[in-house]
Structure 1
Amino acid sequence: MRVLVTGANGFVGRHLIHALVKREHEVFAGTRSKEVIFGGQIMSGLLDILDVDSLSSIISKFKPDVIVHLAAQSMVKEAWKQPEYTLRTNVIGTINLLEAIRILSPETKLISIGSSEEYGLSSKYESILTENVPCLPQNPYATSKHAAGQLAMQFANKENLNVIHVRPFNHFGPGQKEGFVISDFASQIIKIEKNLSSTKLRVGNLEAKRDFTHVADVVRAYIMLLEQNVANGYYNVCSGIPRKIDDILKTLISMSSKSIEIELDPNKLVPSEVPSFAGSYEKIKEAVGWTPKIDISDGIHETLEWWRTNKD
């Protein structure tokens, strides 16, 4: 298949590109960065979803069977600082993509990547979140992703497009930048191991529970959705298990030989945080047979080892 990936230079995008190539798909990696990190067998080029002309040009020339739309402003903290930019990128960018598909390539399947953040406060009332639970987003990032998903489904219904809106829950793995809980902990531990900081590891709320999935499992879900015939709609990608942040941290610390102290950092406390957040993957399991496979301890160890190798 011919697969166009927007936001290909991001954490998930890099993993997805290489997994697609291994499965012998023809891939175009779209990125806003001039730095090309992919091998020669992968087509790549500048793609800004806010630039309608460049977006339309790439779709016209490449003629993708599937587009996996990863390009986004994806950090909650940054969304509070730059709500307008977040909404413009995540909502207007998605509209631009939908319009280009409608006009130039209506047969193209769109895998729109949303977020579990869309559910928001609903997690206070539902212990396990299914796709039928109402969305009550509580920050600009969550609102932007929810709006993008709603618009994607509206376009799909009106224009008879094939659109899948995926809601991945917390995911992690090698190559994830700082700003996300497991990568933040891992990077701080490696700084301590290399004597680049004090032995104090700064943390936010350790009592919260979150649903974590390894990036390789997330990528496998996206590939299964794009390779198989799947009905339009919303699909969770998650482990189904709420894990306490404190337990994640203890697992990471146990993998280090250093003595590490824990210190609460008020700047790491997220507004409108809900105590527990976990999803159901029954719908995607029924649709394509996907279930998470990677043990979380193995994934955490792999992530910490990546930081040991790459943290300078």
Structure 2
Amino acid sequence: MPEHRIRINADFWKGKNVLVTGHTGFKGTWLSLWLQGMGANVTGYSLEPPTNPSLFELCRMEEIVSSTTADIRNMPALTAAIKEAAPDIVFHLAAQPLVRASYMNPIETYEINTMGTVNLLEAVRQAVKSGVPVKAVIHVSTDKCYSQLDEARGYRETDRLGGGDPYSNSKALTELIVSSYRQIYENEAGHSNAKVALASVRAGNVIGGGDWAEDRLIPDCFRAILQGNAVNLRYPQAVRPWQHVLEPLHGYLLLAQHLYEDSQFAQAWNFGPEDSDTVTVEEVVSHLCSKWGGQASYLVDQAEHPHEAHVLRLDCTKSRNLLGWSPRWNLDTAISKSIEWVKGYELKEDCRELCSKQIQEFVEGSELHDH
């Protein structure tokens, strides 16, 4: 495999047909906006935005992407959407993404995450058989798919899959599904001119402007601060790999470029922060409160809560060496950019402009790192 092909090539994306499932979510909106800004023709397949307010609606995304509003579990609708969009590249983000919600609704979590992934991969398979030119599919997974050993070293792509809670476990199952479909795609490639390259990506805890999810640390922080309340910490000593949302998206886009041209990249990939940015919940919140200023504060919740892994770290050596990917914004910058976005939102600034400006800053910063 070639090493150190670093830059995202905007020319590569210009005119490409790209399908994004889960495009109305936080991560999906940022990705769709980035793709559209590079000239890609973006089609989204998703339920209605999962939060109110929603980044998708605030960015007026319906003006710039074509959307199908449907459930990932609806196989006929999904197959029809893929055939109509005729994508060159597919990003599969649609999921039930919250650990606490998975304890409350485990059946729904498994249905959406596991069978939703089967549906997506099978719909791609059927579309390719009918002549749709899909060349690359990226399944978006999570650092929580690994068997939770709480080791000091970061998880590597070859480590054992597992996950204790229903969310984490369902995502581990999707990795097995991806592995199986990779073989199906490869076996069938000889019967047509099309070969679909399938990869999975595992990122850390993403932060950034426009996330209003319930039971997620940084959104909870901003909600509390804006309401004049102390931030309530449920797992203050839990260690997580924190990164700005643009970091893993940068990895997904780079990987897609590689995958489109070379099926050797059809593997699992980690995209996490530097080790120095894998820190405790309390450290992150203390840092955020300090940067926000004023009366921002936090307190530790003493109640019992469902189990979550104590330590999650990612070893991203493979992505660095084979994709030329590396983190651009450290945790301090990620927090600053998140605060900047939220304060802009509070001042009624244009949210699409806020996002586009930060994407541009990220890209320009990446270019500076490349020389």
Q: Same fold (TM over 0.5)?
A: yes
| Distance verdict in 2 for CA 1:145–1:244, change over 3 Å | same
Match of residue 235 from structure 1: 269
| Distance verdict in 2 for CA 1:120–1:191, change over 3 Å | farther
Q: TM-score, normalised by structure 1?
A: 0.90
Confirm or deny that 1:211 pairs with 2:237.
no
| Distance verdict in 2 for CA 1:267–1:31, change over 3 Å | farther
Pick one of 116, 119, 130 that aligns with 2:156. 130
Q: TM-score, normalised by structure 2?
A: 0.76
Match of residue 341 from structure 2: 306
Shift of 1:268: 7.7
RMSD: 2.1
Confirm or deny that 1:201 pairs with 2:231.
yes
Shift of 1:57: 0.7
In structure 2, C-alpha distance between the alignment counterparts of 1:234 and 1:201, rounded to whole Å: 35
Kept in 2, the 8 Å contact 1:152–1:163? The answer is yes
Confirm or deny that 1:139 pairs with 2:165.
yes
Confirm or deny that 1:153 pairs with 2:188.
no
| Distance verdict in 2 for CA 1:254–1:150, change over 3 Å | same
- The letter for the 1-side match of 2:209 is P
State how 1:78-227 maps to structure 2 within 5 Å.
78-105=101-128, 108=134, 109-122=136-149, 124-160=150-186, 161-178=196-213, 179-192=215-228, 197=229, 200-227=230-257
**SS of 2:202's equivalent?**
strand
Match of residue 322 from structure 2: 287
**Structure 2 runs not aligned, ≥5 long:** 1-15, 50-55, 187-195, 349-371
**SS of 2:309's equivalent?**
coil
Confirm or deny that 1:18 pairs with 2:33.
yes
- The letter for the 1-side match of 2:137 is L
Listed one character per residue, the Cα deviations across residues 35-91 of structure 1 (whole Å, up to 9, x for unaligned) are: 863153422222321111111111111111111000000000000000000000001
- The letter for the 2-side match of 1:59 is I
Match of residue 248 from structure 1: 284
In structure 2, C-alpha distance between the alignment counterparts of 1:262 and 1:126, rounded to whole Å: 27
Shift of 1:20: 0.5
Shift of 1:228: 1.8
The alignment covers a number of residue pairs equal to: 304
Kept in 1, the 8 Å contact 2:152–2:313? The answer is no
Shift of 1:207: 1.7
| Distance verdict in 2 for CA 1:26–1:119, change over 3 Å | same
- The letter for the 2-side match of 1:186 is F
Shift of 1:148: 1.0
In structure 1, C-alpha distance between the alignment counterparts of 2:314 and 2:45, rounded to whole Å: 30
In structure 2, C-alpha distance between the alignment counterparts of 1:60 and 1:136, rounded to whole Å: 34
State how 1:60-79 maps to structure 2 within 5 Å.
60-79=83-102
**SS of 2:286's equivalent?**
helix
Confirm or deny that 1:51 pairs with 2:85.
no
Match of residue 17 from structure 2: 2
In structure 1, C-alpha distance between the alignment counterparts of 2:203 and 2:121, rounded to whole Å: 21
Listed one character per residue, the Cα deviations across residues 196-225 of structure 1 (whole Å, up to 9, x for unaligned) are: x4xx33112222221111111121111111
Kept in 2, the 8 Å contact 1:186–1:303? The answer is no
Runs of 4+ in 1 over 6 A off after TM superposition: none
Shift of 1:309: 4.2
Kept in 2, the 8 Å contact 1:6–1:47? The answer is no
Match of residue 12 from structure 2: none
